[in-house]
Structure 1
Amino acid sequence: MTDARANFDEAQGTLTVSGAWHAEAASALPALGDKTVRTLDGAGLTELDTNGAWLILAAARPQASDPMPGLQAFQPQHRAILELVALHSAAAAAQPERSRENPLAAIGRNTQVMQKHILGLLAFIGHLSHELLALLGQPGSWRWREFAAQVGSVFGGAIPIVAGMLFLLGVVFAYLLGDQARQYGANIFVVDGLLLAILREISPVIVAVLVAGRTGAAITAQLGTMKVTEEIDAISTLGLSPLAVLVIPRMLALLLAMPLLVFIGDIAGIAGGMLVAQQQLDISYSMFMDRLTDVIQLKTLLVGLGKAPVFALFIALIACRMGLSTTRDARSVGVNTTSTVVQSLVAIIILNAIFAVMFVKLNI
């Protein structure tokens, strides 16, 4: 129960409130209907919080846009609470309702966002190319320690997850393919299909996806945090180029590490398929290796390895560009990191589709 009370003097248009006004005091309000409250009297008010203030104001002026009634005999702290609630109620009422966006307008807005990303990436490539040309004439300006540190981070840290993921994918692919091949007595041809799938498609694409989610996101977060903490501004103040100090070592590290990771993924995927072939299809390890040496072609291996630097280049460009375009707040770091992963995955899928069509046309 609450001791909150409210009385309305219709002749004078005065609403008198007394007692303690909190959220449970709503039952104490009289039914005013369309009557106008010109004055609020708080002489008997003992306690008031924002809930109680909102209840009183809602009764005194049903619409937030209605004029504020006069405040009479309120203690200073109670008057301050009423004025604060009235101010925020008016601000909330002044905000226009969000209308549903037209589908065509949404398409146009998203197209503009995509165009902005593409133009920004092209501008970033231009600045980076200019910086690379300048560094070619100054070998002493290359950041070899940073490059070595990035190679260790990108390559060394990714080996366990790449090897484990590709091993399991090799197991799954060989199991599914072997289950079908066994029905036709074509067990040995599982080796052919496994090699073709792992070396040409599965290993380069899966490794690129893992690197985009692991290293690409980390690069954007690192550069974005440095932007927030003004470390990049400090590098520029020292007369150094952020592209030469931060971007180029990371890009070269990715270009070197990706083919190596793809090769490790090839070996792990073949090892997983070999295990299933021995257990499920009665293909011994020696038979598997004999078939592998008979059917494997150098171009099959080179196709997968050749995709890796292209994937690495686009992941590095997107990650570094999004990191450097971060604004000076933590939310922007999170948004740009997420955007890096999404853009990198889309780029990988598009590039892989282009490679597939191109290799078919070239009969590779």
Structure 2
Amino acid sequence: MPRSPEPGDRSLPAPGPGEAELVAAEGGARLSVRGEWTLAHHAALAEHVRALSAQVGAAQVATVDVEGLAALDTAGARLLHTLLGAERVGALLADETALPRERRALLKAVADALADPVTPAAPAGYALGDVLAHIGQTMVVFRRHLAGLTGFVGLILETAVRVAVQPRRWRMTSLVANLERTGFDAVPIIALLTFLVGAVVAFLGATVLANFGASIFTVDLVAYSFLREFGVLLAAIIVAGRTASSFTAQIGSMRANEEIDAIRVLGLDPIELLVLPRVYALLIALPMLTFVAMVSGIVGGMVVSATTLDISPALFLSRIQDNVALIHFYVGMAKAPVFAFLIAVIGCLEGFRVEGSAQSVGEHTTSAVVQSIFVVIVVDAIAALFCMEMGW
């Protein structure tokens, strides 16, 4: 008569569906695993493991007996890992005599997969959510840029006040050199472009106003537009593209070559040495360039008026003197220092943000030009609304 296998009997594997039994023994409990741990018996094994897991976790399991394990596949290895836990599975794999080589390899593969699970792909978003997320990210970036710009402005003002009371620390050579590059070298291009724009404005005014028999008001159109808006705006946009990019490239290259760090090691202040001369130079240069732009634009309109409308230069200038108040010139000139300060600050700040590569220099140079032009146009629009409300 065949005998039933005893718990400690390892000679006969337990046939049929797999099972596990927790047996108390001296020196700690022993967990005996027997039968077929395969996908065919997965449902019954899952219930058995679920019922036994709490006991195994609470008991001090000293040994794991797998001699009675008749069959093992991936599903059974997964349940066995759940029952034993990662630490006991590791100890079982370390004992080369406990399991045959192929079963040990299978259990190890399952344990490694469970230790480093595959992260599921992020669920696909929906159109409105993606748009709102993009808007939120853009606002966070805008807030960070605004905070950085505000802090940099405060640092420049603090350094300017500290240096102003110490004339020996004024960088006159650097100021004159930057003034030449940002101001005098820009006069030809600004004069030419504003002359052409003034001619275009006069052509448009002559074309439209001639239908109403009011061609003489072309003079007023050219004068108002260049004294209040076009002169300072065109000069600021050209300077933003020409000078802000130059400031960013110069300071960015110095940062990429670690020259900024060398300046700090020498005990010098980069703001005092690099930023203040550029800011002061542009504060002086842009009002002068604005005046050149105003004169050139009016001259362009005057040439067109003389050639197409038979308005002589004397009549043109006389009408400007009689009909155009001086407040318009003051409004245009008052914007120039504000635009100059913002352009210089943005150009220098983007230079200090360069991270050390040629690609970073190009990216921040582009960013400096875009930000400068954007800020100039926004501030000009705000100033126009303010002046309109004030009646200026």
Q: Same fold (TM over 0.5)?
A: yes
User: Among 197, 205, 212, which residue is 1:184 paired with?
Assistant: 212
Matched position secondary structure for 2:391: coil
User: Among 157, 163, 166, which residue is 1:129 paired with?
Assistant: 157
Match of 1:254 in 2: 282
Give the AA of the match of 2:288.
L
User: Among 166, 187, 194, which residue is 1:166 paired with?
Assistant: 194
Q: Is the 8 A contact 2:205 2:215 kept in 1?
A: no
Using the alignment, how far apart are the partners of 2:268 and 2:225 within structure 1? 46
Using the alignment, how far apart are the partners of 2:138 and 2:367 within structure 1? 14
User: Among 356, 360, 366, which residue is 1:332 paired with?
Assistant: 360
Using the alignment, how far apart are the partners of 2:336 and 2:123 within structure 1? 46
Using the alignment, how far apart are the partners of 2:261 and 2:123 within structure 1? 39
Whichever of the two has the greater Rg, that structure is 2
Q: Is the 8 A contact 1:182 1:281 kept in 2?
A: no
Match of 1:144 in 2: 172
Match of 2:370 in 1: 342
Matched position secondary structure for 1:282: coil
How big is the shift at 1:296?
Answer: 2.7
Structure 1 position 299 matched with structure 2 position 320: no
Structure 1 position 362 matched with structure 2 position 390: yes
Using the alignment, how far apart are the partners of 2:250 and 2:176 within structure 1? 17
Give the AA of the match of 1:110.
T
Using the alignment, how far apart are the partners of 1:123 and 1:131 within structure 2? 12
Structure 1 position 217 matched with structure 2 position 245: yes
Using the alignment, how far apart are the partners of 1:295 and 1:104 within structure 2? 51
Match of 1:42 in 2: none
How big is the shift at 1:125?
Answer: 1.5
Using the alignment, how far apart are the partners of 1:141 and 1:98 within structure 2? 60
User: Among 296, 309, 327, which residue is 1:281 paired with?
Assistant: 309
| Deviation by residue 1:235-276 (Cα, 9 ceiling, x = unmatched) | 111111000010000001111000100100011101100111
Match of 1:233 in 2: 261
How big is the shift at 1:99?
Answer: 6.6
How big is the shift at 1:226?
Answer: 0.4
How big is the shift at 1:184?
Answer: 2.0
How big is the shift at 1:148?
Answer: 0.2
Structure 1 position 193 matched with structure 2 position 221: yes
Using the alignment, how far apart are the partners of 2:302 and 2:157 within structure 1? 45
Match of 1:89 in 2: none
Match of 1:12 in 2: none
CA spacing shift, 1:153–1:115, aligned 2, 3 Å? same
Using the alignment, how far apart are the partners of 2:253 and 2:302 within structure 1? 45
Q: How much is the aligned-residue C-alpha RMSD, in angstroms?
A: 1.9
How big is the shift at 1:126?
Answer: 2.0
Match of 1:17 in 2: none
How big is the shift at 1:286?
Answer: 1.6
How big is the shift at 1:98?
Answer: 11
Using the alignment, how far apart are the partners of 2:353 and 2:379 within structure 1? 24
CA spacing shift, 1:221–1:293, aligned 2, 3 Å? same
Question: What is the correspondence of 1:71-82 to structure 2 with a 5 Å cutoff?
Answer: none
Matched position secondary structure for 1:275: helix
User: Among 289, 310, 313, which residue is 2:341 paired with?
Assistant: 313
Give the AA of the match of 2:131.
P
Matched position secondary structure for 2:303: helix
Equivalenced residues, count: 272
Matched position secondary structure for 2:215: coil
Give the AA of the match of 1:209.
I
How big is the shift at 1:185?
Answer: 2.0
| Deviation by residue 1:284-341 (Cα, 9 ceiling, x = unmatched) | 1221122122123211111111111111111111111111111111111111111111
Give the AA of the match of 2:380.
N
Matched position secondary structure for 1:102: helix
Match of 2:185 in 1: 157
Q: Is the 8 A contact 2:248 2:365 kept in 1?
A: yes
Q: Is the 8 A contact 2:354 2:361 kept in 1?
A: yes
Match of 2:52 in 1: none
Gaps of 5+ in 2: 1-118
Structure 1 position 290 matched with structure 2 position 318: yes
Matched position secondary structure for 1:327: coil
Give the AA of the match of 1:289.
L
Q: Is the 8 A contact 1:174 1:273 kept in 2?
A: yes
